[in-house]
Chain A
Amino acid sequence: MKFNKLAGSRKILDVWNIPVFVLFASFAVFLLYPIFMVIKSSMISADGTTVSFQSYIKFFSVSYYSKALYNTLLLGVLGTAGIIILVIPLAYFFTRYKIFGHTLVGTILWIPYLTPAFIGAYTWLILFGKYGLITDFFRNLGIMIPSIGGFGGILTVFILTYYPLGFILLIGAFQTVDPSLEEASHNLGASNFRRFWTVTVPSATPSILNASLLVFILIIDSFGIPAIVGVGTPVLTTLVFGEFTSEMGGPPVMAATGATILLFISMSILILQRVYLQKKSFVSSGTRNIEIINPRPVKKIILSLMFAVVLVFSLLPIITIIISSFTVANGPVLQYGQFTLDHYRNTFYAVLRPLKNSYILATSSMILDLTLGSLIGYVIIRKGKKMATFIDAFVALPLGVPGVLLGIGLILGFSRGPIVLVGTASILIVAYFVRRLPHPVRTVSAILAQVDENIEEASVNLGVPPVKTFLKVTTRMIFPGIATGGLLAWTTSVSDLTCTILIYPARWKTLTVETYAQIRSDLYGPASVVGIFLLLSVMVPIFIVNLISQRRDRKKSMVKNER
């Protein structure tokens, strides 16, 4: 029939297929192809011609390699367990009881997570390292405390760095437990303790597992923390980095093998998390919120003290780095009490170039991410139909791809041939673009799902074509999602070390690479200054976006009150 034919051709010519096509094409070239290159390199036999699993046999049989895998898995499990155990009571008390400075605590607890991970690691080294401030303090008292480092050191720093993510996720979980369930349990005579273990925790189990999986991926993909704290304790990321940088010249077989194994682990976790999330989510039936009660004074003081301890640990890195940047340094030994501006004077001009580089790279990739991410988010919610679930899962792929693997893959895939990225800024932009694309897609689609589709239809109905409607109406409606997505993409790109350190061209040294280099050169004074610039680059945008969104919320609630 004439009409059906036309409807068919309309589908193919649909402009909304363009972003989907761009997504598939760019992921095929810049994500799947690099992954393929890494896997292929891991399977090259000694003579370089046939496919073999020699490298894997070597990996599992030689303890130098298998030790790294063992450490990675053990750190992942113990770190995740430590964080969850620490965070369950914290999040529970935080959602049930009013403590002193409740809102402030909620904000400050985020800080370690927003601090680039290796900066946190570095400050713990300043405090508890071999020449650390606190180590020295006790040494002068005649008490020898173990310096941070090795396996225990990495584990501690992982927990101190990544617990905020667990905390935030579990607060969400405990807040959505249906209060009437808890009341029912109470009503049936269960004690507080019993109620917590029989009702609250089981109801929050899906969220707790979800948080665990996300934290696990974060830990095993981390490069900065083990590289700085864990000298002598290899993990997969540091092993891959070491192997790759020393193997330059020949095919990086062992680096590729390690990266492939890491990819296998994090992909399995990501798939587990997605399958699990989709199957099980206990949506609370009630619309009531959990009531935050004001506990008796003694209890309130005890709880507040508990949070105060956590706060101190959250703020310590920042305070330390600020003080260190003004302190006379002799290599890694900081002479506390001796004030100086030398580090700023000496480092300032050296910082400008990497600062500019980081901003240019992060901004370029953010613009790409926002453009494609908003369109993809729109397609998933509005146009996807059957494809939506698939596109949604596909665009989340980078979350399971370790930074070291993508780095190696980009170098292997694009050093010669039709597309050459190695040696130019584009390799970093591509890496950031691919790795951060899931952020704007998620934030935009989350907001768009709340937006009444009729508003866009009204615009079309009034004579504005669909694409123009997207630009005039939809983008306005999803602006908060674009802002948060952009913020996430930008800040995580600026603070990326894992992938950047493998692929940065000499002229495009970033702030993170500069900081890392200073730390590794044991120049703790200048390292602190560069670190502060890095910290400010991340914190200031977050602060500004928060301020704007708070002001807008206040405006909205004022309008509501007027009526």
Chain B
Amino acid sequence: MPGNKPGIIYNGGYMTSIGVQIKNVSKFFGDLAAVDNLSLNIKPGELFTLLGPSGCGKTTLLRTIAGFYYQNSGQILFNNKQIDLLPPHKRNTGMVFQSYAIFPFLSVFNNIAYGLKAHGVSKSERKERVMEALSLVRLSGLEQRRPNQLSGGQQQRVAVARAIVIEPQVLLMDEPLSNLDAKLRVDMRVDIRRLQKKLGITMIYVTHDQEEALAISDRIAVMSSGRIAQMGSPWEIYHKPANPHVANFIGVSNFFSCPVKSNDQNIIKIDFYGQTLETPSLIKTETESVVVSIRPEAMSIAGREDSSSGKIIFKAKIVDTTYLGAGLRLTLRTEDDVDFQIQMSHPKRIDNLVSEKIINIGFLQDDVMIFPDESSGDEIQ
């Protein structure tokens, strides 16, 4: 088996993976802080995602790690060794670009061999490693193709193969799937995660697509204005968003501003359209109202049997119905004119859900998230 030779990577056991430490890094463009005193600790072998809308600084941070930008302050360390003084070509990171950045004048084989040549790998070993990388990304047999003879998905795989073949310390992915069509994107993200786990390599993945981030990551840092808004596992990010911005950026969320009845012993009592919502909360706020956030899929049309099941039930008027095939999305309006959405997975019938009709909506108290009411605040999305 060629895979057992020392120095060749792809046989299940990757070289020791490394951790990445970002310490108080800031990067300014003019007066604008694209990355603002940001610290991160990425564990060895982790698939870590920087998630956020465009302009949040995620790509700037990635490019600073790769060395294409120099930070204005702070340090970057690989396995506790400072690397930010090294020029980009000596950092040994493997970057996959959004535009793939395949060398158009080289064949697939030479594209992948490019970095090995630069690292002085012998010709025979080069060939072996290129072939192995090609089979890892399932492109065997296409090594003599020209880049313009490849589909978008194939080009993407060449870019990945080219980055992993040099045995980088960290793989950096800058929105690698955003130029692919929706279905291919889903297939590719599964492939990328599988490959990353197989190689055990540390990977930093940048995306603005929250669904992609949830699907692929071990951990996610949600970024906003150059800072980390929240960091955690996909489950934590989705179910325990740190603030309304994160809640709204990750998935869709409904927000209701409600008066507080009492707030003591970590139990907060809220007046939710005439009913009392009781939920444990760490909010120490003395304000008179809080924001109640409920995911659309946590709410449903309440039937007679729901009234006795401990669900909170309130009335709302149908504004709009969107039929999605696998589900149904209803836009509703509360009595105080707040619009919100609910999503049902398999609606039995939809012909009775006409506009202006008033229906009962129910949800469980456990599915509620409470945030302090900051009255205003810019939307994340």
Could you say which residues of chain B place their CB within 8 Å of the CB of A476? 103, 105
| CB contact list, B137-163 vs A, under 8 A | 146, 148-149, 151, 159, 162-163
Bound together, the chains give a CA A466 to CA B99 distance in angstroms of 20
- The reply to whether B166 and A4 form a contact with Cβ atoms under 8 Å apart is no
Which of B61-87 touch A at CB < 8 Å? 66, 68, 70-73, 84-85, 87
CA distance A477 to B102 in the complex (A): 12
Which residues of chain B come closer than 8 Å to A306, judged between CB atoms?
Answer: none
Contacts A461-B66, A462-B166, A463-B166 known; A452 to B99 CB distance under 8 Å?
yes
Task: Quote the shortest CB–CB distance from A553 to chain B (angstroms).
Answer: 13
Docked complex Cα distance between A434 and B350 (Å): 77
Considering the complex, give the chain B residue whose CB is closest to the CB of A560: B148
Bound-state CA distance A17–B104 (Å) is 28
User: What CA separation (Å) do A563 and B151 show in the bound complex?
Assistant: 9
By a CB distance below 8 angstroms, the chain A residues around B114 are 459, 462, 464
CB distance from B157 to the nearest CB of A (A): 15
B 82-112 binary contact with A (CB < 8 Å = 1; else 0): 0011011110111101111111110000000
Of residues B88, B159, B162, which shows the largest number of chain A Cβ atoms within 10 Å of its Cβ? B88
Chain B contacts with A in 148-205, Cβ cutoff 8 A: 148-149, 151, 159, 162-163, 166
B326 close to chain A: CB less than 8 A: no
The reply on A7 being an interface residue by CB < 8 A is yes
Nearest CB in chain A to that of B120: its residue: A463
A460 within 8 A of B: yes
What is the chain B residue whose CB lies nearest that of A457?
B68
Query: Does A460 lie within 8 Å of B149, measured CB to CB?
Result: no
Given known A-B contacts A452-B99, A454-B97, A559-B146, A460 and B73 have beta carbons under 8 A apart: no
Cβ of A387 within 8 Å of any chain B Cβ, yes or no, is: no
Q: Which of B71, B89, B94, B103 contacts A460 (CB 8 A)?
A: B89
Interface residue B349 (Cβ < 8 Å from any Cβ of A): no
- Interface on chain A toward B: helix, strand, loop, or mixed SS? helix
Q: Check A454–B99 contact: CB distance below 8 A.
A: yes
User: How distant is the Cα of A513 from the Cα of B89 in the complex, in angstroms?
Assistant: 52
The answer to whether B101 and A455 have CB atoms under 8 Å apart is yes
In the complex, chain A residues whose CB is within 8 Å of the CB of B149: 559, 562-563
Task: Determine whether the beta carbon of A461 is less than 8 Å from that of B94.
Answer: yes
| B114 nearest CB neighbor, chain A only | A462
A10 nearest in chain B by CB position: B70
| Known contacts A462-B162, A463-B119, A457 near B89 by CB under 8 Å | no
Does A556 reach chain B (CB closer than 8 Å)?
Answer: yes
- Chain B residue with the shortest CB-CB distance to A563: B149
CA distance A10 to B85 in the complex (A): 11
- Judged by a CB distance under 8 angstroms, whether B1 is at the interface is no
Of residues 248 to 298 in B, which have CB atoms within 8 Å of A's CB atoms?
none
Residues of A within 8 A of B118 (CB): 462-464
Confirm or deny: A48 has a beta carbon within 8 angstroms of a beta carbon on chain B: no
Using A559-B149, A562-B149 as known contacts, say yes or no to A461 and B103 having CB atoms under 8 A apart: no
Nearest CB in chain B to that of A461: its residue: B95
- Give the number of A-B contacts (CB < 8 Å): 85
- B372 CB within 8 Å of chain A: no
Asked if B148 contacts A457 (CB within 8 A), the reply is no
Question: Which one of A6, A462, A465, A562 has the greatest number of beta carbons of chain B within 10 Å?
Answer: A462
Check A293 for interface membership: any CB of B closer than 8 A: no
Minimum CB–CB distance for A97 against chain B, Å? 35
Q: A454-B99, A473-B103 are in contact. Are A461 and B148 (CB under 8 A)?
A: no
Q: Which A residues are CB-close (under 8 A) to B99?
A: 452, 454
Cα–Cα, bound, A19→B64 (Å)? 27
| Cβ-defined contact, A1 with B89, below 8 A | no
Q: Are B70 and A1 neighbours in the complex by a CB distance under 8 Å?
A: no
Residues of A within 8 A of B105 (CB): 476-477
CB pair B73 A465 closer than 8 Å: no
Of residues 281 to 317 in B, which have CB atoms within 8 Å of A's CB atoms? none
CB contact under 8 A between A4 and B148, given known A462-B115, A465-B89: no
Does A3 belong to the interface (CB within 8 Å)? yes
B71, B85, B87: the one contacting A465 at CB < 8 Å is B87
State the majority secondary structure of interface residues on B. loop
Measured between beta carbons, the chain B residues less than 8 angstroms from A559 are 146, 148-149
- The answer to whether B70 touches A458, judged by C-beta atoms less than 8 angstroms apart, is no
Is the Cβ of B101 less than 8 Å from the Cβ of A4? no
- Chain B residues with Cβ below 8 Å from A458 are 95, 97, 101-103, 159, 162
Task: Name the distance in Å between A174's Cβ and chain B's nearest Cβ.
Answer: 32
A6–B88 CB distance below 8 A: no
Q: A452-B99, A459-B114, A476-B105 are in contact. Are A556 and B148 (CB under 8 A)?
A: yes
Residues of A within 8 A of B104 (CB): 455, 477
Interface flags, B310-341, vs A, CB<8A=1, else 0: 00000000000000000000000000000000
Cβ-closest chain B residue relative to A455: B101
Determine how close the nearest CB of chain A comes to the CB of B172; give it in whole angstroms. 8
Nearest CB of chain B from residue A8's CB, rounded to whole Å:
11
The listed residue with most A CB atoms (<10 A of its CB), out of B89, B95, B98, B148, is B89
Give a binary string over A1-26; 1 marks a CB under 8 Å from any B CB, 0 the rest: 10110110010000000000000000
Which residues of B have CB within 8 Å of A560?
A: 148
- Rounded to whole angstroms, the CA-CA distance of A462 and B98 in the bound complex is 16
Quote the shortest CB–CB distance from A18 to chain B (angstroms). Answer: 17
Query: Which A residues touch B88, using CB under 8 A?
Result: 457, 460-461
In angstroms, Cα B118 to Cα A10, docked, is 23
- Residues on the B chain within 8 Å of A556, using CB: 148
Assuming the A-B contacts A461-B88, A461-B93, A462-B115, are A1 and B103 also in contact, with contact meaning beta carbons closer than 8 angstroms in the complex? no
In the complex formed, the residue of A with least CB distance to B72 is: A4
Provide the bound-state CA to CA distance between A462 and B159, in Å: 11
For A3, list chain B residues within 8 Å (CB).
70-73, 84
CA distance A1 to B88 in the complex (A): 21
With both chains docked as a complex, state the minimum distance between the C-beta of A479 and any C-beta of chain B, in angstroms: 9
Q: Which of A454-500 contact B (CB under 8 A)?
A: 454-455, 457-466, 469, 473, 476-477
Check B103 against A457 for contact (C-beta < 8 Å).
Answer: no
* A6-B94 Cα distance, complex, nearest whole Å: 25
> What's the nearest-Cβ distance from chain A to residue B114, in Å?
6
Give every chain A residue within 8 A of B70 (Cβ-Cβ): 3, 7, 10
Interchain CB contact under 8 A, B89 and A463: yes
Q: How far, in whole Å, are A222 and B166 apart by their CA atoms in the complex? A: 58
Chain B 31-74: CB-based contact to A (< 8 A → 1; otherwise 0): 00000000000000000000000000000000000101011110
Question: Of all chain B residues, which has the CB nearest A6?
Answer: B85
Do B92 and A459 touch across chains, with their CB atoms under 8 A apart?
A: no
Please name all residues of chain B whose beta carbon is closer than 8 Å to the beta carbon of A466 when the two chains form the complex.
87, 89
Chain B, residue nearest A1 (CB): B73
With contacts A461-B95, A559-B148 known, what are 13 further pairs, Cβ within 8 A?
A3-B72, A454-B100, A455-B102, A458-B97, A458-B102, A458-B162, A459-B103, A460-B88, A460-B89, A461-B66, A462-B89, A462-B166, A464-B115
A selection of 20 A-B contacts at a CB cut-off of 8 Å is A1-B73, A3-B71, A3-B72, A3-B84, A4-B73, A452-B101, A454-B100, A457-B66, A457-B68, A457-B88, A457-B101, A459-B103, A459-B114, A460-B89, A461-B66, A463-B92, A464-B114, A464-B118, A476-B105, A562-B149
Question: Top 5 A-B pairs ranked by shortest CB distance?
Answer: A462-B115, A454-B101, A463-B118, A458-B101, A454-B97
